[in-house]
Amino acid sequence: MPNTATPGAKTIPVHRIEVGMKPDLPDPTGSGARARIAEDLGVHVNDVRVIDVYTIHADLSREELDLVRRELFTDPIIQNSALDTMLASDFDFAVEVGFRPGVTDNIGKSSAEGIADTIGRSLTEDEAVYKSTLYAIRGGVSADTCEHIARDLLANGLIQRWVVKSAAELKSVDGYGLLGLPLVTDRSSAEVRTINLNISDDALMTISRDGMLALDFGEMKAIQAHYRDASIAQWRKQAGLPAQPNDIELEILAQTWSEHCKHKIFNAVIEYTDETGKTRTIDSLFKTYVKATTDEVGKRVDWLVSVFHDNAGIIKFDENWNFALKAETHNSPSALDPYGGAITGIVGVNRDVLGAGLGCRCIFNTDVFCFATPFFDGDIPARLMHPRRVLRGVHQGVKDGGNQSGIPDLNGAIVFHDRFLGKPLVFCGTGGLIPATINGKPSHEKCAKPGDLIVMCGGRIGKDGIHGATFSSEELHEGSPATAVQIGDAITQKKMADFLLEARDLGLFSNITDNGAGGLSSSIGEMAKGSGGAVVHLDRAPLKYPGLAPWEIFLSEAQERMTLGVPPAKKEAFLDLARRREVEATVLGEFTNSGRLECFYEDKLIGALDMHFLHDGVPKMHLQAKWTPPTPKSEITIQTSDLMGDLKAVLGSLNVCSKEPFVRMYDHEVLAQSVLKQFQGVNHDGPGDAGVIRPVPGSKRGIAVACGITPKYSDLDAYWMMASSVDEAVRNLVAVGARISTIAGLDNFCWPDPVKSDKTPDGDYKLAQLVRCCEALYDFCTAYDIPLISGKDSMKNDYKIGDTKISIPPTVLFTAAAIIDDVTKVVSMDVKRAGDAVYVIGETHNEMGGSEYLALRGELGANVPKVDAKKARALYEKLSAAIASGLVASCHDCSDGGLGVALAESAFSGGFGMEIELHGVGVENDVVALFSESQSRFVVTVAADNTDAFEAAMSGAAFARLGTTTQSDLFKVHGGDGKWHEARLGELKAAWQRTLSL
Amino acid sequence: MAKKVRALVLTGYGINCDYETADAFSRAGAESARVHLNDVIANPAMLKDYQILAVPGGFSFGDDVASGKILANRLRYKLGDALKQFVADGKLVIGICNGFQVLVKMGMLPMLDGDFQQEVTLTHNDSGRFEDRWVNLQATKDTHCVWVKGLDRLELPIRHGEGKFIPRDVSVLDTLRNKGMIALRYCRADGNAAQGQFPANPNGSIDDVAGICDTTGRVFGLMPHPEAHTERTHHPRWTREDRPEEGIGLRVFRNAVEYAASN
């Protein structure tokens, strides 16, 4: 019914504009949906046509509506449209999918702006446009099947609603109001509750649990004790606050003290018992291993600028520029809503870099995902999604977030392991560039002074993401909140980022940080450390819709917001520029030196927390760790007569195969700085090792970025897992020509819960794994002179519902970046010509444990690859010197799949054959020679004229000449069995490309 | 001595190739400035100081509704007259990728009858997805497009999800062909016509069209990114082929700057 008010919508009329492709033209979106319905659900329908639906909840005249239908919503060349009538014809069922109330609707928002331009007036606060999508399905379906298609493919019930109607039913409603307006009607009271903590211990824990506070018993007791403190009580009385905490105070403490924000496990006192029964005490893994690494290496490198205390680590790029780097995880939200969780992850880490120093410009993204196999065919546990759906959604989210922000994707990986079914891991990283000095001052120094105004800018606040910080500090369980999910809006953030860089150069603010986990409570709480306090007026914050309690305003994790400290003298200029750039900016209060974080609502003090208690009051955790090495097994010995068949199988395994279809969808060249892309070789489809960019036009100086991630070794020994991750990242950099002592690292830990409890009886073992992992991090980073400039940990990556518990394998993403003096000297991984010598660099051992080869046979094996840091470092220094001297034609890292994979990839990427003598590798067994995953190795090709010089340059390091590149299209291996094994390049490449083809 | 040419590169609302587009004009000898759209709307007179206007690539308004559509409407409703005057004054305009989508959807390209009337469109690739890949292009022999003058074959990256060129009908296509308004076509690596075949024609564009100009030859739009191939090291095979120091994309910008300097 057009022009009829919906309950709760006052008297603003509702209209519906439908837009679809002209019937005689193909509909790629519809065909895509049809293909996915077949592929994912095994349901075959004849046809799907997609109709975009814009529900206009605004007081527009008939003429205006028709104008926007024609001029804004319809492409006259290819589309038809209808106003307040139905467009679809010739279908059996219609499924319409739209957002739930309060969920970010980016298209709806942009449409409102488009309408304003077209009709010459802005929509009012109460008017809005809502986007939904109608899928008109023909053939082969029932209403129930459509319900299944909607629920399990087209929509995510957490954030979306849908309705299924048959063609006949749809006629009877004439196409209107299928979903109803997504208005937020659920309003919290602005009332502030006081919570009495003078109660029994059991009742204290009930408050923590029921309130989703994730505070443990010791923490609840510390808070209880704080409010019993006589001086606190007296101050509160004078200030007019109740003796017991108000809800907002408890909420602030819970989020500030959350594992997510305080890294309590990394700062705990750990009693570690090794396999001999010897016990020692580690007072903070962070200080003992992570910070100690940087402190030690910092004495040997001179390019650290700002480490650990800002949103991202900052190092020197050249005389004029500094370089910032950060990686984050967004696992729990991505488990619930893969698309929203992932896009929020990528635009969130962009904000970390935008908020580093006085604000860096983002120049690249990295993305690493961990999933269970997309071919999983078992039962999916409650509340989890099929890994294929998670993979698609996460990829789509990162793609949209990065592409729309104009930040190129530079490097990444997709890793598969069965236990990521319980929780997918989504790592997003960002690099940024900032002038070393801005307006004559070092750009990495920032501090809000007392009196500086607190200004929030960017998006508005809604109920999105409330309790995100505490939620991610727990395992995924039945009651995991829907509000923990947010959907990022890259364009709102892009507008804000453009504006802030302009404001930065004009010197309009003194401090900046992003709003991530914990929202304003976290950003203001952190910034207030500098000045020594803050006063915040929560009723002044702009809201997406009314009805948020004050504490919700303070804790909301609504996206695309930064908090700034603005000197009063700059206020007008700052706000004026914001207006001209159409970025919302609001003064919320000011920084003080009162020693307290004070929150007001409608001029009434509703909460005050002592800064010292807020930041340092959390009790240290005391934890037990006990290391029991896995029962030693002898390595499995496999003989094969079909080396090439096995090689093809390994090339096609999930962890080795080409990820090109996914990576192609990322813009990896925006900003025009690309030097080595993800895809290399004669047909631009060979797998590059490290991404290289030259970010400053006119300069040959560059940045190489790579990652290492090897969770497959964790079940054997987390120490060697960490060693391999560091080594993998480093050798990816060395493979393109980067030098040791120019490399900076980031450590991102993702662990299953390592705290022993009823639900985690093996917590002491998992914590011992963590200790050993940190030891390796220190051992190898100090050996390679890699300072850790930033990092993060995510410690509760478990799934538990009913009797089903899935814990991820302990995982560390090691991201490494190196400064390259001259990018014109880097090498790619593809073979360049026939007649070049082929070398393996580094030693090969029988280290089949965790290998892809054994994994294909369902075995883990025993011998985990080990790293000899001293030898490896010497080898890396020689190899990068040889590359810098121009002696190397191609260089490729040996990692997942082993030497066979690296040789084959080098050959087919370059389009040249190879003849390889396997005995040169120096091991007895051909399977070991080709498929062992020993670390610190490369495949290198060298022009015939350069072999002597190359061998001289490498002397003292382990290397062996294995053969020659050839003009033919055959990849030939002469095995220890005396036989030649061969395969065509095309077959090998097809095996590598087929697995994840879309 | 030729006059100093000034190029205005638009920014804002999700435009994101502004830095490198400005850099390309600088390398080509112009003085380039990144200017926020709102500053131009607030003061359209500033266009008098420039001879070249660039609408760079990006995701204006997130491609919401349709790629380039919302920015197209904003330019048309708020700057339409100023832009018409800019072209009437003999000046040059380029729209790259999202900028091309904007020019097409506001009717500034191909501008067959002097009015803002959409005659062609750029829509979802046949593959149904966004892709970043390098393509081979052939500058049309008979085109009068100032921007591709003297160019024959070139390799540039495309990075789009909605780049499929579709004219309103056969007569529009014939007009574009007959008047030399098709400036660039996708072709195969060996120079032969792509004939609509993926991946040589990466999006299914009708007649392999990758770029068109208006009747003056001074307003040009293209899906590939010439600003992303200004250096040898931009090229995907620079580590295996002898290539000139300067990327061929820079020629597009040089053409415009030389034209503006001498006209």
For the four alpha carbons of B234, B239, B240 and B242, in that order, the dihedral sign comes to positive
Say if A877 falls within a structural domain. Answer: yes
Residue among A111, A118, A677 whose CB faces B64 most closely: A111
Is the separation of the CB atoms in A472 and A336 below 8 Å? no
Question: Shortest CA distance to A831 belongs to which of A915, A907, A892?
Answer: A907
Task: Note down the domain range covering B38.
Answer: 6-262
Average pLDDT per consecutive 10 residues, chain A (998 residues; last block may be shorter):
45 93 91 90 93 95 96 96 90 92 87 95 93 93 93 87 90 68 76 93 92 90 96 95 96 90 92 96 97 97 93 96 96 89 94 96 98 94 91 95 96 96 96 97 94 95 73 55 68 95 97 90 92 96 89 90 96 98 96 97 96 94 93 78 95 97 96 97 97 96 98 96 98 98 97 94 96 98 97 92 93 98 98 98 96 94 96 98 98 97 98 97 94 98 98 98 98 93 98 90
Name the CA radius of gyration of chain B, rounded.
17
- How close A141 comes to chain B (CA, Å)? 24
Say if A966 falls within a structural domain. Answer: yes
Of the candidates B160, B225, B234, B235, the residue annotated as catalytic is: B225
Is the separation of the CB atoms in A709 and A814 below 8 Å? yes
Looking at residue A970, its pLDDT comes to 98
Measured CA to CA in angstroms, residue A787 lies from A290, A660, A703, A735 at distances of: 9, 32, 16, 20
Question: Is residue A147 located within the same domain as residue A234?
Answer: no
- Coil, helix or strand for B123? strand
Is the separation of the CB atoms in A420 and A370 below 8 Å? yes
Neighboring chain A residues of B155 at a CB cutoff of 8 Å: none
Contact B168 A76 (CB under 8 A): yes
**Residue of A52, A669, A890 for testing the chain B interface, max B β-carbons within 10 Å:** A669
Task: Note down the domain range covering A114.
Answer: 14-173
CATH number at residue B126: 3.40.50.880
Instruction: Tell whether B16 is within 8 A of chain A (Cβ).
Output: yes
Kindly state the DSSP code that residue A69 receives in the 8-state scheme. I
Say if B138 falls within a structural domain. Answer: yes
Contact A113 B61 (CB under 8 A): yes
Question: Is residue A138 located within the same domain as residue A234?
Answer: no
Asked about B162 being catalytic, the answer comes back as no
Neighboring chain A residues of B224 at a CB cutoff of 8 Å: none
Say if B105 falls within a structural domain. Answer: yes
Say if A902 falls within a structural domain. Answer: yes
Is the separation of the CB atoms in A808 and A420 below 8 Å? yes
Give the DSSP H/E element, type plus range, for residue A512.
strand A511-514
Contact B36 A118 (CB under 8 A): no
CA–CA separation, B226 and B238 (whole Å): 16
Match 């392999």 to its residue by tokens.
Answer: B208
Please state the domain count of chain A: 3
CATH number at residue A839: 3.90.650.10
Measured CA to CA in angstroms, residue A492 lies from A104, A114, A431, A759 at distances of: 11, 15, 20, 42
Looking at residue A173, its pLDDT comes to 66
- Coil, helix or strand for B211? strand
- Of A577, A594, A618, the last residue of a domain is A618
Say if B1 falls within a structural domain. Answer: no
Neighboring chain A residues of B24 at a CB cutoff of 8 Å: 672
Kindly state the DSSP code that residue B161 receives in the 8-state scheme. S
Asked about B234 being catalytic, the answer comes back as no
Dihedrals phi, psi of B34, to nearest 5 degrees: -85, 120
Neighboring chain B residues of A115 at a CB cutoff of 8 Å: none
Q: Are strands B6-11 and B52-55 parallel, antiparallel or unpaired?
A: parallel
CATH number at residue A73: 3.30.1280.10
Please state the domain count of chain B: 1
- How close B19 comes to chain A (CA, Å)? 7
- Measured between CA atoms, the residue of chain A closest to residue B160 is A667
Residue B156 CB contacts under 8 Å (≥ 6 apart), including other chains: B134, B135, B137, B224, B225, B226, B228, B229, B248, B249
CA–CA separation, A956 and A938 (whole Å): 16
Question: Shortest CA distance to A773 belongs to which of A714, A822, A704, A698?
Answer: A714
Instruction: Tell whether B129 is within 8 A of chain A (Cβ).
Output: yes
CB contacts under 8 A, B 153-172 vs A, are: 157, 159, 166-168
User: How many Cβ atoms from other residues are within 10 Å of residue B76's Cβ?
Assistant: 20
**Residue of B37, B38, B240, B245 for testing the chain A interface, max A β-carbons within 10 Å:** B240
> Burial level of B29, CB count in 10 A (0-12/13-18/19+)?
middle
Match 């518990």 to its residue by tokens.
Answer: A805
Contact B59 A73 (CB under 8 A): no
User: How many Cβ atoms from other residues are within 10 Å of residue A262's Cβ?
Assistant: 18
- How close B105 comes to chain A (CA, Å)? 8
Strand order in the sheet with A980-984: A890-893, A938-942, A837-841, A959-966, A913-917, A970-974, A980-984
CA–CA separation, B160 and A966 (whole Å): 38
Looking at residue A121, its pLDDT comes to 92
Residue among B65, B78, B128 whose CB faces A73 most closely: B65
Looking at residue A472, its pLDDT comes to 56
Looking at residue A487, its pLDDT comes to 78
- Measured between CA atoms, the residue of chain A closest to residue B121 is A77
CA–CA separation, A887 and A951 (whole Å): 10
For the four alpha carbons of B84, B88, B89 and B93, in that order, the dihedral sign comes to positive
Looking at residue A473, its pLDDT comes to 55
- Coil, helix or strand for B69? helix
User: Interior CA angle at A113 toward A107 and A116, to 5°?
Assistant: 140
- Of A173, A198, A226, the last residue of a domain is A173
**Residue of A498, A689, A823 for testing the chain B interface, max B β-carbons within 10 Å:** A498
Say if A283 falls within a structural domain. Answer: no
CA–CA separation, A306 and A95 (whole Å): 53
User: Interior CA angle at A736 toward A734 and A742, to 5°?
Assistant: 50
Question: Is residue A976 located within the same domain as residue A918?
Answer: yes
How many Cα atoms occupy the beta-carbon half-sphere of A133 within 13 Å? 17
Measured CA to CA in angstroms, residue B173 lies from A968, B28, B162, B179, B193 at distances of: 46, 32, 19, 10, 17
* Least confident residue range of A472-481, A678-687, B184-193, B219-228: A472-481
CA–CA separation, A905 and A593 (whole Å): 61
Contact A117 B119 (CB under 8 A): no
- Coil, helix or strand for A174? coil
Dihedrals phi, psi of B8, to nearest 5 degrees: -100, 120
Mind giving me the DSSP string for A834-878?
A: TT-EEEEES---S--TT-HHHHHTT---S------HHHHHHHHHH
Asked about B225 being catalytic, the answer comes back as yes
- How close A381 comes to chain B (CA, Å)? 31
Say if A582 falls within a structural domain. Answer: yes
Match 């030891």 to its residue by tokens.
Answer: A775
Measured CA to CA in angstroms, residue B89 lies from A281, A789, B45 at distances of: 79, 54, 13
Contact A495 B61 (CB under 8 A): no
CA–CA separation, A90 and A47 (whole Å): 10
CB contacts under 8 A, B 224-253 vs A, are: 225, 227-234, 236-237, 239-240
Token couple for A480: 């995991």
Instruction: Tell whether B17 is within 8 A of chain A (Cβ).
Output: yes
Looking at residue A483, its pLDDT comes to 57
Name the CA radius of gyration of chain A, rounded.
29
Residue among B125, B159, B166 whose CB faces A667 most closely: B159
- Of A564, A584, A618, the last residue of a domain is A618
Say if B120 falls within a structural domain. Answer: yes
